[in-house]
């Protein structure tokens, strides 16, 4: 499963071959968007479909290969099916003919590993209804909701949609605010945005656009300017912004230009709190000072992009880290949601980008192997702020207290 580039809720359909997963998707979509066949194994790889479920809203629905696939290629397809679970906000397990054994239990075990909510659809109920014994056994083993469904008549379609609504986490479709909790009506926010070789031609990068929209949504005022205009703007207007947000790589210049009485942070730090594992970032970032010669650092990019000669993740951060620590460090970069090149325990530190093009669920699961193993994790912006000596200022707008424990808004 490749990178997810949409922030809509991701719903995965899982089960054995020929259980009617694709037919179920077509009924939810109200159109034929998945290939349906009487032959088992029609769906070979996870396929993402974007559409709107009537009565719910826009979603990304993932049609997966059967968990009971066979052969050498079948094993690879099963692996992709299991990998896709890390990217979904809700899983729907499709069973038929009262069959519930090791295949279904394997899927449920994977759902639990990634904290993925799920429910069960007993499909093709026009041919075989779910027996009371099967229902009791499944509920006792999974404590999951089970619904009968028939893709021919689709009599339970509304009930199925209601179950999606009540099972999917609210956080997957209700977007929290980036900085709204820091602002009051009419506040002015200064957005310091460099236009350099990495800036896309003719437009802003996504985190900057997201910040502008969030500020406007919270009835505040966004003022956008380049770093070399900050001093003149503050001097001429006499305005005292409620908050200033800057690009991470010019944080040092922004720190010098923005008076200390004005809270200052970075777009990447804002995204870290909004979408990332902020608590673990706060714990992991200071571990940069403990790096040793030969330590291996993994940089995680959420997207693939053109790599410039002065790329922030592949060039600048490694240079800044090496200069700050004075150690001989090794660096590896993984783009998208690709598999890691080595065991997670071989890394001393993970540095995650802002994750603007993936969901929070995808980002959290991307970091989970490291956090489970006790390996420090941080974020591009927070790591940059730390090595440039302005970490405390970068996180200060989001901190309630740092005295006895890590606490964040």
Whether residue 210 is found in the same domain as residue 92: no
Q: Among 246, 269, 292, which residue terminates a domain? A: 269
Phi, psi of 44 (to 5 degrees): -100, -40
| Confidence category of residue 358, pLDDT binned at 50, 70, 90 | confident
Question: Would you state the pLDDT for residue 399?
Answer: 87
Phi, psi of 57 (to 5 degrees): 140, -175
Is 407 within the bounds of a domain? no
Looking at per-residue pLDDT, the higher value among 336 and 2 belongs to 336
Phi, psi of 120 (to 5 degrees): -115, 135
Q: Which long-range contacts (CB under 8 A, 24 or more apart) does 385-391 make?
A: 385/248, 385/251, 385/266, 385/269, 386/285, 386/286, 386/288, 387/288, 387/320, 387/321, 387/323, 387/324, 388/251, 388/252, 388/255, 388/320, 390/251, 390/252, 390/255, 391/285, 391/286
Is 5 within the bounds of a domain? no
pLDDT higher than 80, residue 170: no
Quote the CA–CA distance of 107 and 91 in Å, as a whole number. Answer: 10
* Mean pLDDT in residue range 74-90: 90
Looking at per-residue pLDDT, the higher value among 9 and 6 belongs to 9
CB 111 within 8 A of CB 118: yes
| Confidence category of residue 174, pLDDT binned at 50, 70, 90 | low
CATH number of the domain residue 241 falls in:
3.40.50.11420
Instruction: Give the length of the chain.
Output: 409
Whether residue 21 is found in the same domain as residue 161: yes
CATH number of the domain residue 392 falls in:
3.40.50.11410
Average pLDDT value for the chain:
86
Reduce the secondary structure of 13-48 to three states and give it as a string: EEECCCCCHHHHHHHHHCCCCCCCCCCCCCCCCCEE
Looking at per-residue pLDDT, the higher value among 276 and 143 belongs to 143
Report percent pLDDT > 90 for the chain.
53
Whether residue 32 is found in the same domain as residue 126: yes
Question: Would you state the pLDDT for residue 363?
Answer: 87
Range of the domain at 380: 277-398
Quote the CA–CA distance of 168 and 60 in Å, as a whole number. Answer: 13
pLDDT digits (tens, 9 = 90+) for 360-380: 888 888 899 999 999 999 999
Q: Among 223, 241, 269, which residue terminates a domain? A: 269
Whether residue 88 is found in the same domain as residue 215: no
Whether residue 229 is found in the same domain as residue 294: no
pLDDT digits (tens, 9 = 90+) for 101-122: 999 999 999 999 888 999 999 9
Residues forming beta bridges with residue 92, ordered by sequence position: 13, 119
| Confidence category of residue 48, pLDDT binned at 50, 70, 90 | confident
Phi, psi of 51 (to 5 degrees): -165, 180
Question: Would you state the pLDDT for residue 239?
Answer: 96
CATH number of the domain residue 150 falls in:
3.40.50.300
Question: Would you state the pLDDT for residue 353?
Answer: 87
* Mean pLDDT in residue range 62-84: 90
Whether residue 196 is found in the same domain as residue 167: no
pLDDT higher than 50, residue 291: yes
Quote the CA–CA distance of 319 and 325 in Å, as a whole number. Answer: 10
CB 121 within 8 A of CB 96: no
| Confidence category of residue 41, pLDDT binned at 50, 70, 90 | very low
| Confidence category of residue 45, pLDDT binned at 50, 70, 90 | low
pLDDT digits (tens, 9 = 90+) for 221-242: 999 999 999 999 999 999 999 9
Is 313 within the bounds of a domain? yes
CB 390 within 8 A of CB 252: yes
Question: Would you state the pLDDT for residue 194?
Answer: 87
Q: What is the dihedral of CA 283, 285, 289, 291, to 10 degrees?
A: 100
């Amino acid at each position: 499963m490749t990178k997810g580039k949409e922030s809509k809720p991701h719903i995965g359909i899982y089960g054995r071959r020929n259980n009617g997963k694709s037919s179920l998707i077509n009924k939810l979509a109200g159109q034929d968007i998945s290939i349906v066949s009487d032959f088992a194994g029609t769906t070979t790889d996870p396929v993402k479909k974007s559409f709107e479920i009537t009565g719910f809203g826009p979603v990304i629905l993932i049609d997966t290969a059967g968990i009971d696939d066979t052969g050498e290629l079948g094993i690879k397809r099963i692996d992709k099916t299991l990998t896709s679970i890390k990217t979904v906000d809700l899983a729907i397990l499709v069973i038929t003919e009262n069959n519930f054994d090791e295949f279904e239990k394997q899927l449920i075990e994977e759902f639990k590993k990634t904290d993925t909510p799920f429910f069960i659809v007993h499909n093709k109920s026009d041919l075989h209804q779910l027996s009371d014994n099967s229902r009791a056994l499944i509920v006792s083993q999974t404590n999951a909701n089970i619904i009968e469904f028939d893709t021919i008549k689709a009599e339970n379609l509304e009930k199925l949609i209601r179950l999606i609504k009540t099972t999917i986490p609210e956080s997957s479709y209700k977007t929290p605010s980036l900085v709204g909790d820091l602002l009051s009506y009419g506040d002015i926010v200064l957005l310091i945005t460099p236009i350099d070789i990495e800036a896309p031609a003719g437009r802003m990068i996504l985190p900057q656009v997201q910040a502008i929209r969030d500020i406007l949504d919270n009835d505040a005022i966004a003022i956008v300017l380049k770093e070399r205009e900050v001093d003149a703007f503050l001097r001429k207007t006499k305005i005292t912004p409620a908050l200033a947000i800057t690009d991470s790589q010019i944080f040092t210049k922004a720190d010098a230009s923005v008076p200390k009485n004005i809270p200052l942070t970075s777009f990447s730090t804002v995204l870290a709190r909004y979408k990332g594992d902020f608590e673990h970032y706060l714990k992991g970032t200071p571990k940069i000072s403990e790096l040793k010669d030969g330590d291996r650092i993994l940089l995680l990019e959420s997207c693939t992009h053109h790599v410039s000669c002065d790329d922030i993740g592949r060039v600048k951060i490694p240079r800044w880290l090496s200069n700050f620590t004075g150690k001989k460090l090794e660096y590896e970069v993984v783009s998208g949601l690709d598999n890691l090149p080595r065991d997670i325990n071989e890394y001393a530190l993970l540095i995650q980008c802002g994750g603007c093009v993936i969901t929070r669920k995808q980002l959290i699961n991307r970091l989970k192997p490291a956090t489970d193993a006790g390996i420090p994790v941080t974020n591009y912006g927070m790591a940059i702020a730390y090595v440039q000596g302005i970490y405390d200022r970068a996180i200060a707008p989001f901190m309630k207290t740092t005295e006895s424990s890590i606490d964040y808004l």
